[in-house]
Amino acid sequence: MAGIVQFENVGLRYGTGAETLSDLSFSLAQGSFYFLTGPSGAGKTSLLKMLYLSQRPSRGSIRLFGEDVVQLRRARLPGFRRRIGVVFQDFRLIPHLSAFDNIALPLRIAGVDERDLVTPVREMLAWVGLADRASARPPTLSGGEQQRVAIARAVIGRPEILVADEPTGNVDPEMAARLLHLFDALNTLGTTIVVATHDIHLLSRVASANVMRLDRGQLHDPTGALRHPPGGGEAYA
């Protein structure tokens, strides 16, 4: 399998302080499932930001879909971003839009005709158990419901990579299991999944998942899955 994501000696520094992330070198195989774990402050969200093109690294090279995205012109970024679905830790739903319109947003941005998006959005709402809350606005939804809308929005466009930052943080165990099942199903359809979580109980829920562990800005590779092609179980960086 080709590496859909390749980091080479990537470092990230905010301002003039010490590096938040140092010497990250790894490759993610297309169609694989990854958990990114580590304690709070380890740099998980920063790594994900670089992955979904919200943050450029201070040094090093990042290749997505076979292209160097660090030097990519701004005008080309939207095309790459449309291939990546993101579940933000704080959901980032647009508060004045209904659940339906929030989920439909990626399709509208991609230029999908209004007539063609109704059915997939309704199916997605049903899939995350919110069929009867289509017209509800985020402030009237519970935390778990908002999280499910955020997940539905991230996957509605059938992204090639799905990046989720603590996607089960606000849902009950049953819903967490359902969401992971959803991610697993997407993964079997070919989507590369990266889920950041500090819930170690999740790691065993997806049998095929690889685990990346961040600690104080350094990436560790307990399963060896971050080598490309995947290798043994030693720390990689």
Interface with another protein (CB under 8 A): 52-56, 74-75, 77-82, 86, 92, 94, 96-97, 101, 104-106, 108-111, 114, 153, 157
String of DSSP letters for 68-101 = E-SS--GGGHHHHHTTEEEE-TT----TTS-HHH
Q: How far is the CB of 75 from another protein (least distance, A)?
A: 8
Q: How far is the CB of 114 from another protein (least distance, A)?
A: 6
- For 4, residues 6+ apart whose C-beta sits below 8 A from its C-beta are 28, 29, 30, 64, 65, 160, 161, 192
Q: How far is the CB of 139 from another protein (least distance, A)?
A: 13
Q: Kindly tell me which of 107 and 176 has the beta carbon lying closer to another protein.
A: 107
Q: Kindly tell me which of 106 and 223 has the beta carbon lying closer to another protein.
A: 106
Q: How far is the CB of 81 from another protein (least distance, A)?
A: 4
Q: Kindly tell me which of 28 and 87 has the beta carbon lying closer to another protein.
A: 87
Q: Kindly tell me which of 108 and 216 has the beta carbon lying closer to another protein.
A: 108
CA distances from 105 to 95, 97, 208 (A): 13, 10, 31
> Residue ranges of the alpha helices (H) in 138-229?
143-155, 173-188
